[in-house]
Structure 1
Amino acid sequence: MEAVPARTVAAANPAPSGILLVDKPGGMTSHDVVSRTRRALGTRKVGHAGTLDPMATGLLILGVGTSTRLLTYIVGADKTYETTIRLGAGSSSDDAEGELGPAASADALDAVTDERIAAGVEELTGEILQRPSSVSAIKVDGKRAYARVREGEDVVLEPRAVTVSRFEIVGVDRAAGVIDVRAVVDCSSGTYIRALARDLGESLGVGGHLTALRRTRIGPFGIAAATPLDGDLAGALEDAATAASRLFPVVRLDADQARDLAHGKRVPLAAADGSPVAALAPDGRLVGLVDLSTGIARVLVNFPPEASP
């Protein structure tokens, strides 16, 4: 049988590229999901936009190939979570995976009415200062906070400004020794839902921690479009141009403009000012993200065609 030239095989099997929406199962780290995806797609070029804790489930956005360059712009998008906050005890990690603190008394829990819960939630809605969980991935003098906690350090992080645009109670379930508050939260990037649970419990005087967390949205991307980790990951890849068009305004280039922009040149464009703007080639491929100002497009990041393996 005649051998197939190597370049013909390569052309028939281009390197995978695109944005992948995965429904992360519980019990796995975000890095575990990246590792599994690398094996499934046969490439090392996989990254994620926004870590989910092992106990959390839901939307994890992966970038594959040159599409990893989009992740910087996705990670800062607003997010939506479905969560359950258990009132009745705090936790060393502000969630169910940590060591629980002293349990609140029955009298203290009886005093936590639905009205007090609603008032506490209201106080945590809007633009607030939030102290991140001590077991977060924030670096303190070059080392992750959670690593310092594991080494026995007492870590207290500085509060930071975040925006909780929606903190909606969808149910309150009462049982012996606990009150479970089910809620939906829309928030800015960098908001810690665990910290909301902690702060709600502290404001009510009974302690609180997170027992369930599911991310359902990142920017324009929703969980309904996500694929299970054991599903057809290659078939679920969304090309960079489609993803960028959902994130940013779009300008169409002619062939000369696409070539010049790909080479880093500034290109005159009759389009409204904006940044970032997705610049598409005549064939629909994403050439780059640009800053458009006074009719001139300047490259922010280019997206060269994927090389074949």
Structure 2
Amino acid sequence: MTDPLANSGLVVVDKPQGMSSHDVVARLRRFFGTRRVGHAGTLDPMATGVLVAGIERGTKFLAHMVADTKAYEATVFLGAATSTDDAEGERGELADATAIQAITEAEIEAEIARLRGPIMQRPAAVSAIKINGKRAYQRVREGEAVEIPPRPVTIERFDVLAQRRCSDHIELDVVVECSSGTYIRSLARDLGEALGVGGHLTALRRTAVGAFELQDALTLEELEQHPALSVSLDQALIRCYPVLEVSEQEAADLAMGKWLAPRGLRGVHAAVAPDGRAVALIKEQGKRLATVFVARPSTL
């Protein structure tokens, strides 16, 4: 019997610079011959690296990856701010060279330390966040002054890997591990503001999205030649969540959206049938073990 989910799953793309996430989705639709393609977490055109896309029913799973942590390698320019907090925006005046030269490594580390952990971050005005139904960047393009309220994010790691000093600016190569929803260019902006010289992002590469890393990623050229899933939908659920093995009858019940008796589980688990297929994501809610997402509904 043919598996109805044989063509459903995730594709991990190494996004090239200069393309939007929407551009990548358009390419994948052509490569895989389907309109049912989506992505988990936008990457700016300037950025490269891990972009996780869902194919067919894999698109339904993407919403359950939103809370995952992400990792980046980036270059921060200290010495000038830009209108977009990255290199694509209009750059303001360079800071005074004396001010740049006066900044010590200890001061940089102290200000970075203040940006680690749970913080309230103000997203860049030119972002995809919706304000009253319209993207912030669209409002900026139309001449509106946009101020997005700060939102909670968590910065697990923010470390300097290398530092280059010039007479009028400092460049920092950094690594960041953070919660979903974090803007790395906002970290660059805030670091520059804290040091009194302005700052923006000049390079960004996403190295991981949750359980998926660069080693899993394929280029668009590779996918055009050999369009194939990186992981099936079954593999995606098992890779992203702890597994709970269930009986054939329990799997059938979950496929119909029924709930099971509680088992003392904490958090979301992937319910896996005896044949190895992941039926659903489940979570204890009160006195029942209920489905959060049904990967293999009985209606397929």
- What secondary structure sits across from 2:202 in the alignment? strand
Of 277, 287, 291 in structure 1, the residue corresponding to residue 279 of structure 2 is 287
Pairing 1:68–2:39 present: no
Unaligned runs of 5+ in 1: 1-7
User: By how many angstroms is 1:237 displaced?
Assistant: 2.7
Residue of structure 1 equivalent to 2:193: 202
Pairing 1:106–2:100 present: no
- What secondary structure sits across from 2:149 in the alignment? coil
Residue of structure 2 equivalent to 1:56: 47
- What secondary structure sits across from 2:164 in the alignment? strand
CA contact (8 A) 1:255 1:281 kept: yes
User: By how many angstroms is 1:254 displaced?
Assistant: 2.2
Q: 1:285, 1:119 → 2: CA distance?
A: 49
How far does the alpha carbon of each residue in 1:232-280 deviate from its partner, in whole angstroms, 9 at most, with x for none?
A: 36334301121111221212222222222111222347x4413321112
- What secondary structure sits across from 2:90 in the alignment? coil
Q: 2:4, 2:64 → 1: CA distance?
A: 28
Q: 2:76, 2:286 → 1: CA distance?
A: 49
Number of residue pairs aligned between Structure 1 and Structure 2: 298
Residue of structure 2 equivalent to 1:4: none
Aligned pairs for 1:164-183 within 5 A = 164-183=155-174
How far does the alpha carbon of each residue in 1:49-91 deviate from its partner, in whole angstroms, 9 at most, with x for none?
A: 1000000000001111112222112122111110000011100
Unaligned runs of 5+ in 2: none
Aligned-partner residue type, residue 187 of structure 2: L
Q: 2:146, 2:298 → 1: CA distance?
A: 44
Pairing 1:43–2:34 present: yes
Q: 2:222, 2:110 → 1: CA distance?
A: 43
Identity of aligned residues (%): 49
Of 247, 262, 267 in structure 1, the residue corresponding to residue 260 of structure 2 is 267
User: By how many angstroms is 1:130 displaced?
Assistant: 1.1
Q: 1:197 to 1:306 in 2, by over 3 A?
A: farther
CA contact (8 A) 2:255 2:297 kept: no
Q: 1:246, 1:68 → 2: CA distance?
A: 16
Q: 1:32, 1:305 → 2: CA distance?
A: 31
Q: 1:139 to 1:12 in 2, by over 3 A?
A: closer
Aligned-partner residue type, residue 25 of structure 2: V
User: By how many angstroms is 1:40 displaced?
Assistant: 0.4
Residue of structure 1 equivalent to 2:234: 241
User: By how many angstroms is 1:293 displaced?
Assistant: 5.5
Residue of structure 2 equivalent to 1:130: 121
- Which structure has the greater CA radius of gyration? 1
Aligned-partner residue type, residue 38 of structure 1: R
User: By how many angstroms is 1:146 displaced?
Assistant: 0.8
- What secondary structure sits across from 2:26 in the alignment? helix
User: By how many angstroms is 1:305 displaced?
Assistant: 7.0
CA contact (8 A) 1:17 1:237 kept: no
User: By how many angstroms is 1:297 displaced?
Assistant: 2.6
Q: 2:227, 2:77 → 1: CA distance?
A: 39
Q: 1:294 to 1:204 in 2, by over 3 A?
A: closer
Pairing 1:250–2:248 present: no
CA contact (8 A) 2:9 2:229 kept: no
Aligned-partner residue type, residue 251 of structure 1: L
User: By how many angstroms is 1:14 displaced?
Assistant: 7.4
Q: 2:166, 2:201 → 1: CA distance?
A: 16
Which has the larger displacement, 233-242 or 255-264? 233-242
